[in-house]
Amino acid sequence: MAILQYTGGTTGVPKGVMLTHYNLLANFNQVCDFIFKTCDEVPESFKTITVLPMFHVYGLSSVALCCFREGANQIILPRFDVKEVIETVKREKPFIFAAVPTMYFALNSLPPEMLKEAGFDQVRYVGSGGAPLAVEQARAFENVTGASIRDGYGLSESSPTVAFNPPFVPAKEGSIGIPVQSTIVRVVLETEDGEIVDAPVGEAGELIVSGPQVMKGYWNRPRDTDEVLKDGWLFTGDIARIDEDGFLYILDRKKDMIIASGYNVYPREVEEVLYHLSGIEEALVIGVPDEYRGETVKAFVKLRAGSTLTIEEIKQFAAENLAAYKAPKEVEILDDLPKSSVGKLLRRVLRDEELGKVQV
C-alpha cells in the first residue's frame, strides 16, 4: 500500500481507500499516455497550474504526479481565487489547466471580457473532474473563452481516473469520454434473480470498472469492501449509459436517485435544466419526503451576483422545461451551497438537513 486516500464523504462517512504503488503508477501512466502521447507538439518544457489540493486524489494523481512524470513546471496556487487564476493563466500561459466544476462556475461569473482576456484558448488541455460538469456551464465557458473543456470521470477507489475526453478524439457534449487504456467498463442491471447482466447500448445502469488502478479495498472496512469489489469488478454506485461509439455519460449517483410517484428522477437532469437560467450560479436537487408521491423534487440554488430571479420564476421555468414529475415542487434560494474541501457540491448535507426537519 502507498497511501490511504479518504473519500469525500459525499454519500456517507469518509472511508480510507487503500491505493497501492502499482495503482498510482498505473493510473498516472494511463492519464499521461492518453494526453501526451496523443498530443501534437508537446513542448520539451511546459507549465501547468496546480490549483487543486493535493490531498484530493484528482489533484494528487491526475495533476501533480502526472506532471512530475512529465517534468512540468508546476505553478502551485495555495487556494482557488478566481482573479488570481485569471492573472496566472494570462501571465504564465500554461499547457494544462485542471479544475473542478465549481471553479468553472466561478469563472463564468466574471465579466465576459475579463474571462476572455485570460487566454484560456491558448491552454492546450483544459480539464474538468471531481464531479459532473453541467453542460450549460461548460458551453458558457467555451463560448466566451474559445477553449474546449475536456471532462473526465474517476473515483478515489480507482486512483482516480477511469475515463476522460482525450485530445485525439472530438469531445462529445455531456460525455465523460472513453475509458483509459487497460480499463474495462460495463453498464449493468440486476435481474429479479440477482443476476448481473449488461444493459443494452444507450440504456441506464450501474457503471462497473476493472483495471490496474482499482483499489485494494477500504481500510478496516471488510464489509464495505465486499459491497463494492465483486469478482474483480468495482461497483461504482454511479448510474451511467454508454453510446454506440463507446462514450460514457454519468446520469447520477445511485443513492441520489429520486422516486416520485413511482418514476425515477435523476437530480442531475433537473440541475442541468436549471443551469439554463442565466441568473443561477449553482444548483443542487434532492428528493424530500412527500405523503402522496413518496418523494418530491426540491431544488436549492445560489444566484449570481445581481440576479433578481424569484422562486416562482424558477419553478415556472422548470415546469415549462421538464416533465411534471421532474419539475421541483419546492425551491429554496441560499447564499451558498454546501461544498467539500475540494469544492464538490454536497447533496448529502442538504438531504440530511431536510430529513432532520421532517424528524423534528
User: DSSP per residue over 264-323, as a string?
Assistant: EE-HHHHHHHHTTSTTEEEEEEEEEEETTTEEEEEEEEEEPTT----HHHHHHHHHHHS-
d(CA 133, CA 183): 23
Output the pLDDT for position 358: 53
In a shared domain, residues 204 and 274? no
Residue type for position 242: I
Tell which of 252, 271, 297 closes a domain: 252
User: DSSP per residue over 177-232, as a string?
Assistant: BEEPTT-EEEEEEE-TTS-EEEPPTT--EEEEEESTTS-SEETT-HHHHHHHEETT
Helix (H, G, I), strand (E, B) or coil at 176: coil
d(CA 133, CA 241): 16
pLDDT (tens digit per residue) in 32-81: 999 888 777 777 789 999 999 999 899 999 999 999 999 999 999 999 99
The CATH number of whichever domain residue 78 belongs to comes to 3.40.50.12780
Tell which of 252, 283, 308 closes a domain: 252
The residue with cell 467498463 is 185
Is the pLDDT score of 356 beyond 90?
Answer: no
Domain that holds residue 295: 257-359
Is the pLDDT score of 359 beyond 80?
Answer: no
| Model pTM score | 0.88
pLDDT (tens digit per residue) in 265-287: 999 999 999 999 999 999 999 99
pLDDT (tens digit per residue) in 104-128: 999 999 999 999 999 999 999 999 9
The residue with cell 485569471 is 86
In a shared domain, residues 183 and 45? yes
Our count of domains for the chain comes to: 2
